[in-house]
Amino acid sequence: MGSRKVSQIGGDQSGSLCAHRTEEGGTTLKDQVIPKATAKRLPLYYRYLRILNNSGKQKVSSTELSEAVQVDSAPIRRDFSYFDEAAPLELSGYGYDVEALMNFFAKTLNDDHMSNVALVGVGNLGSALLKDKFHQSNSIRISAAFDVNEDIVGRIVDGIPVYPLSDMAEQIKLQQIDIAILTVPAESSQPIADDLVKSGIKGILNFTPARLHAPKSVLVQNVDLTNELQTLIYFLHANSQDENK
């Protein structure tokens, strides 16, 4: 079981993510569905493992990992059990091998090669994202931005060129961009998503409140801060009710 490799995390429209794995020495390709909650925690683990590795630490226990990323150790062990390659890395009593696990997650999260990302809509939110530059990852960079506003088009904003929409298909192909961030007004989002799909985009991080239609082969991830806040408020109330019992 330790001979298989999880090569990348992809996704489907149902909210579960698929790890496409190859069997070493074989020709079979297998898809294993990883719960979305697990997939969401992987970058957390990966970030902490990079910190440990940079500080020269060689081993980490699931208890230490649990305290650092604030996830109970039971779900951590369950998460890791989805990865054949990661499970044997836990050396009984001594924890996980930091470097091996970090390299494993780098490969799983595709962090071992640069991903160029496009951003469409350089307004309030788009500009903030251009400024952030995803500094927590060395392997994601926004390499092109697009807008219709002639005051912005042709400028370089925070080191990133802003192109007119008419250049979108060409730049996406030229720069081999697979992922686009959508920060345009909701009413413009569907036609832009259609153009992005036609240009070969495989994943859309949609910040607009519109729910987009896209072919099954394209993964759309919606980001909604209002939803996140409402969830937080719900859990805050639930916690304080528990404390009052």
Of 83 and 207, nearer to ligand NAD (C-beta) is 207
- State the Cα torsion 138-144-148-150 to the nearest 10°: 100
Which positions touch ligand NAD (CB under 6 A)? 120-126, 146-149, 165, 183-186, 188, 192, 207-209, 223-225
Minimum CB distance to ligand NAD smaller for 1 or for 225: 225
**Cβ nearer to ligand NAD, comparing 187 with 243:** 187
Q: Rank residues 91 and 128 by Cβ distance to ligand NAD and give the closer one.
A: 128
Give the shortest CB-164-to-ligand NAD separation in angstroms.
Answer: 9
Least Cβ distance, residue 163 to ligand NAD (angstroms): 10
| Phi-psi domain of 56 (left: phi exceeds 0; alpha: psi -120 through 50; beta: other) | left
| Token reading at 90 | 């836990």
DSSP 145-208: EEES-TTTTT-EETTEEEEEGGGHHHHHHHTT--EEEE-S-HHHHHHHHHHHHHTT--EEEE-S
User: Taking the complex as a whole, how short is the minimal distance between the CB of residue 209 and ligand NAD, in angstroms?
Assistant: 5
Q: Enumerate the H helices of 55-182 as residue ranges.
A: 62-69, 73-81, 98-108, 124-132, 168-174
Q: Report the C-alpha gap between 155 and 118 in whole angstroms.
A: 15
Q: How many helices (H) and strands (E) does the chain have?
A: 8, 13
Closest distance to ligand NAD from the beta carbon of 187 (Å): 8
Residue 31 main-chain phi, psi, to 5 deg: -110, 125
- Least separation in angstroms between residue 129's CB and ligand NAD is 9
The least distance separating ligand NAD from the CB of residue 116, rounded to whole angstroms, comes to 18
Nearer to ligand NAD, 150 or 242 (CB): 150
Q: For ligand NAD, which residue has the nearest CB?
A: 123
Q: Please, which residue, 162 or 218, has the CB nearer to ligand NAD?
A: 162
